[in-house]
Structure 1
Amino acid sequence: MARPLIHLRPCGAALSCSEAHRSLLDALEAHQVPVEFQCRSGYCGACRLRLLAGEVKYHQEPLAFVGRGEILPCCCLPVDDIELKL
């Protein structure tokens, strides 16, 4: 099974997300992509990013408000290839 790719806009980079990553935030940090965060548990919403394409699955439902087209990378993983606006 292919590992999901994380496409970053506007820079165009494509990063892999492996089984070793516990969250999308972990994957972004492993590739040295700077993302603001505080709690790492979906409580504060500081890591909020815009999801342009694809789907993520939350391993823990976030307590922070998540608007349409937004995700909290601290508590989700990509289901398939995704595109994020940074």
Structure 2
Amino acid sequence: MTSTFKEDSLHRVKIGAKEVLVTEEEPLLPQLERSGLVLEYQCREGYCSSCALKLVWGKVYYPEEPMAWVQGGHVLSCCAYAKSDIEIASL
């Protein structure tokens, strides 16, 4: 079976004691949910900021600028894509 993900597009997300592998192919929120994490969200479109998480370190990007205001040092998990290994403050 051939993987469709390039190895260099995989990144580790550390949240507390948990580490999750994510790709650059979809936003953080669905990938973190599949790993068993329960996260707050409302719109899943970048309008409300209820899915905001505090980014301790690492890089994310937004393919489209979110409509919601993003507090400094935070990311909107519904529309942020990992661009490097990242650490998120414990939930």
With normalisation by structure 2, the TM-score equals 0.84
Of residues 28, 31, 39, the one that matches 1:27 is 31
- RMSD (Å), alpha carbons: 1.3
SS in 1 for 2:32: helix
Residue 79 (structure 1) aligned with residue 86 (structure 2): no
| Higher alpha-carbon Rg | 2
Q: Displacement of 1:56 after TM fit?
A: 0.3
Q: Any conservation in 2 of the 1:60–1:76 contact (CA below 8 Å)?
A: no
Give the whole-Å Cα distance in 1 for the aligned partners of 2:22 and 2:60.
12
Instruction: Identify the residue that residue 21 of structure 2 maps to in structure 1.
Output: 16
Please list every run of at least 4 consecutive aligned residues from structure 1 whose deviation after the TM superposition is greater than 2 angstroms. Answer: none
**Residue identity in the other structure for 1:45:** S
Instruction: Identify the residue that residue 3 of structure 1 maps to in structure 2.
Output: 10
- Length, aligned pairs only: 83
SS in 2 for 1:74: coil
Which sections of structure 2, spanning at least 5 residues, go unmatched? 1-7
With normalisation by structure 1, the TM-score equals 0.89
